[in-house]
A and B are shown apart, each in its own frame.
Chain A
Amino acid sequence: MFFRRRLVVVTLSSGAVAVMLGATPETNEPADAPRTSVVPAELERKAPHGALESERQVELLDGLQLPETADPWLASPYYRALELADNAPTPERIALGRRLYFDTRLSSDGSVACATCHDVSRGFTDRRAGSEGIGDKIGRRNAPTTMNAAFFQTQFWDGRSNSLEDQALLPIVNPIEMGHASGEAAATALSADPTYEAEFQRAYGRGVNYEDIGRAIAAFERTLIFLDAPFDRFVTGEPDAITTDAKAGWVLFNGKARCNGCHQLNGSNPIGTNNKFHNIGVSARDQDFAGLAREALSVLETNNSQEAVDRLALATETSQLGRFMVTRNRADIGAFKTQQLRNIGLTAPYMHDGTLRTLWDVMDHYNKGGEPNPYLDGGIEPLALTEPEIDQVVAFLFTLTDDRFSEQNASEVARQRAQATESRPIRDDERAARRVLPFERHDNAEPRVEETTP
């Protein structure tokens, strides 16, 4: 069933056009029935840092019926380029990675596992603006979802990891996330359980070691592919899979709303990213952004070394400079990775610092042309979308959630709609309608609603 769906989805583009024009694409296969919802909307969560207990998460995971080997999607040449030669997926590696994903021994105080912030019951993220790590420390970045993370060229909001293997290792030794003193300390913590040794041997032919932890988790994450959404059924020949509003939203997505300029959603690249880094002005909502950039630049112009960059990166505010901290290219100041749109309904709040609570807030941000700053991407401009048009794009975005989470998705629609009805703090009609131009008013007065002090 996976293969069949994949082959049909490869013709997504022409199919989409055909369906949009009202024609029924010819298909010999009966339309696939939607997959049943697995994750309930309401859950009681009792693990530390607001997570669902690991055992219950594992139960849900079983219900999701993930493949035991890598998803066929990842066999295409397009994605083979992202794989590392020494980490071909085998059932042993995937099983080991799955176990590690839920193991809190990977944190120095035994309270945090990957699954704490990438919780199966919370959209494989944690539904918080900044994630909470050991010692209840809150970080500055919003946890991206591990769903479909395998499709990215780079990991993290600033792309500082070039593979899932790389990415899995870093939170383990980050002092405010999982907090082990070193990779060796993490490996030692795992070795307390004697069954790990055999599992590592079976998977990699080596004993417990830090790097293989990353490999195994990555192998497991490559099974977390969730591309069975109502939108996919629509595109492959089921005109009623999504509402008329959502169809109108899809047209806007590719037209007036200009989303597809960066969020590329097509047969070859199904998750809605171009893997590039854009400054859309979210970090500039903080009033000091331009000054922050100047400060970083002035430090780096006198001392261009890596040590200087590191020192700046550990100073918390400069994380707002995004990709620049990795490449030190001036073009990258305040630029963050284009995130995926798949399952976006489940992963509120949005943006790298989680400052946009609902998809309506996201639309408001783009509609007014982002926040002007000296490094704003020129492709961000006021869209002049009307309220119904915003609703249509949001309706479309909610159709990108995998059917196995449909109950949660429906609940999120209601929750976000209620929040949006109550307030739209980002909204700026003057700028959206171009009565005031983006660079005409650059003293953005809206302060942050929540303070996230570590």
Chain B
Amino acid sequence: MMRTRTFAAHTASFLTLGLVLALGCDSDTPTPSGTPTAKPTAAKDTAPKDTPAEPTPPAASPTTASPTPTPAAATPAGVEVLLCDGETKTTVPAGTPGTAIAGALMSEWLAKHPEREWTTQVFERHGLKPAADNHALIGQGQGQTYGRVSEQDVLVWKTEVETLALAGARVFHNGDELGSTVGVSCDMCHPHAANTHPETYPKFQPQLGRVALLRDMINWCLEHPVRAQPLSADDPRMRALEAYMYAQRSGVTLAYGKH
């Protein structure tokens, strides 16, 4: 399961950055409350640590215009750090590296705006195999309309499909979202959607009494191990779950009927 950052995450990151800048964060502007602040700079000094998660927030603010910051007041509890939106604050122990401070502030801010960065969060937590690369099609068409593929087309295709797959990853890992009445989510038996083998459907499944498509097996799992209500075929959650499973199995040869 490669952890290549998707364009979606990049896009999200850039949006965040834009947001931060748009809030008027500026090194010369003192905060309204007068509390000494430290710059929420990130990533410029520390290389990302070698951990399974790569949570380094991408908010690499342009550091060219930062003057020497005012020394932060040290309290017994730690140093209080305020984000430039003037609201989000956190307290960290003295000596915490910048990446951790930024991560803390980001978490704090995201906690108040949970829906904003869901794709990044889901991606960081669970990863996703990238969608097929269509760059080779750019500029290869003969005409100006049908067959004309542009960079934007390629990016839209990738972003949209990966977003749906990430939505599926989110549902996949969330028992409440699935409607489980017994606290079970799909990832408890299928980490990273392992062993979902979507390439083997359709197949005749005797216990279902008929030829099963992937969605039929998903519904069986929802009814039995997960103990939730089955989803209809065009339920957004079902579509997202299928997208995620197919995505994670990208590259494996189709073999319908394989038991």
The reply, when asked whether chain A contacts chain B directly with Cβ atoms under 8 A, is yes
- From 203 to 223 in chain B, residues with beta carbon under 8 angstroms from any chain A beta carbon are 204, 206-211, 223
* A13, A268, A274 interface centre (most CB from chain B within 10 Å): A13
Nearest-Cβ distance from residue A377 to partner chain B, whole angstroms: 13
Q: Please, which residue of chain B has its CB at the minimum distance from the CB of A267?
A: B210
Report yes or no: B210 in contact with A269, Cβ–Cβ below 8 A.
no
Residues on the A chain within 8 Å of B223, using CB:
255
Q: Give the distance in Å from the alpha carbon of A261 to the alpha carbon of B211 in the complex.
A: 14
Report yes or no: B206 in contact with A264, Cβ–Cβ below 8 A.
yes
Residues on the A chain within 8 Å of B208, using CB:
254, 260
Q: Please, which residue of chain B has its CB at the minimum distance from the CB of A261?
A: B207
- From 1 to 45 in chain A, residues with beta carbon under 8 angstroms from any chain B beta carbon are 13-14, 16-17
Report yes or no: A254 in contact with B209, Cβ–Cβ below 8 A.
yes
Nearest-Cβ distance from residue B184 to partner chain A, whole angstroms: 15
Residues on the A chain within 8 Å of B206, using CB:
260, 264, 266, 269, 274
Q: Give the distance in Å from the alpha carbon of A268 to the alpha carbon of B206 in the complex.
A: 10
* A134 close to B (CB within 8 Å): no
Interface size on B, residues (CB 8 A): 8
* A265 close to B (CB within 8 Å): yes
Q: Tell me if A's interface is mostly helix, strand, loop or mixed.
A: loop
Report yes or no: B211 in contact with A260, Cβ–Cβ below 8 A.
no
Q: Please, which residue of chain A has its CB at the minimum distance from the CB of B207?
A: A261
Report yes or no: B210 in contact with A13, Cβ–Cβ below 8 A.
yes
Interface size on A, residues (CB 8 A): 14
Residues on the A chain within 8 Å of B207, using CB:
260-261, 264
Q: Give the distance in Å from the alpha carbon of A266 to the alpha carbon of B210 in the complex.
A: 7
- From 250 to 271 in chain A, residues with beta carbon under 8 angstroms from any chain B beta carbon are 254-255, 260-261, 264-266, 268-269
* B204, B208, B209, B211 interface centre (most CB from chain A within 10 Å): B209
Q: Please, which residue of chain B has its CB at the minimum distance from the CB of A265?
A: B209
Nearest-Cβ distance from residue B227 to partner chain A, whole angstroms: 11
Q: Please, which residue of chain B has its CB at the minimum distance from the CB of A258?
A: B224
Nearest-Cβ distance from residue B252 to partner chain A, whole angstroms: 27
Nearest-Cβ distance from residue B228 to partner chain A, whole angstroms: 14
Residues on the A chain within 8 Å of B204, using CB:
268
Report yes or no: A264 in contact with B210, Cβ–Cβ below 8 A.
no
Can you list, as one digit per residue, whether each of A266-284 has a CB less than 8 Å from chain B (1) or not (0)? Answer: 1011000010000000000
Nearest-Cβ distance from residue B51 to partner chain A, whole angstroms: 38
Q: Give the distance in Å from the alpha carbon of A104 to the alpha carbon of B207 in the complex.
A: 42
Q: Please, which residue of chain B has its CB at the minimum distance from the CB of A253?
A: B209
Residues on the B chain within 8 Å of A16, using CB:
209
Interface CB pairs A-B, < 8 A, 19 = A13-B209, A13-B210, A14-B210, A16-B209, A17-B210, A254-B208, A254-B209, A255-B223, A260-B206, A260-B207, A260-B208, A260-B209, A264-B207, A264-B209, A265-B209, A266-B209, A266-B210, A268-B204, A274-B206
B residues adjacent to A (C-beta < 8 A):
204, 206-211, 223
Q: Which 4 A-B pairs have the closest CB atoms?
A: A13-B210, A264-B206, A261-B207, A260-B209
A residues adjacent to B (C-beta < 8 A):
13-14, 16-17, 254-255, 260-261, 264-266, 268-269, 274
Since A255-B223, A264-B206 are in contact, a sample of 15 more A-B pairs with Cβ atoms closer than 8 Å, ordered by chain A residue number, is: A13-B209, A13-B210, A14-B210, A16-B209, A17-B210, A260-B206, A260-B207, A260-B208, A260-B209, A261-B207, A264-B207, A264-B209, A266-B206, A266-B210, A274-B206
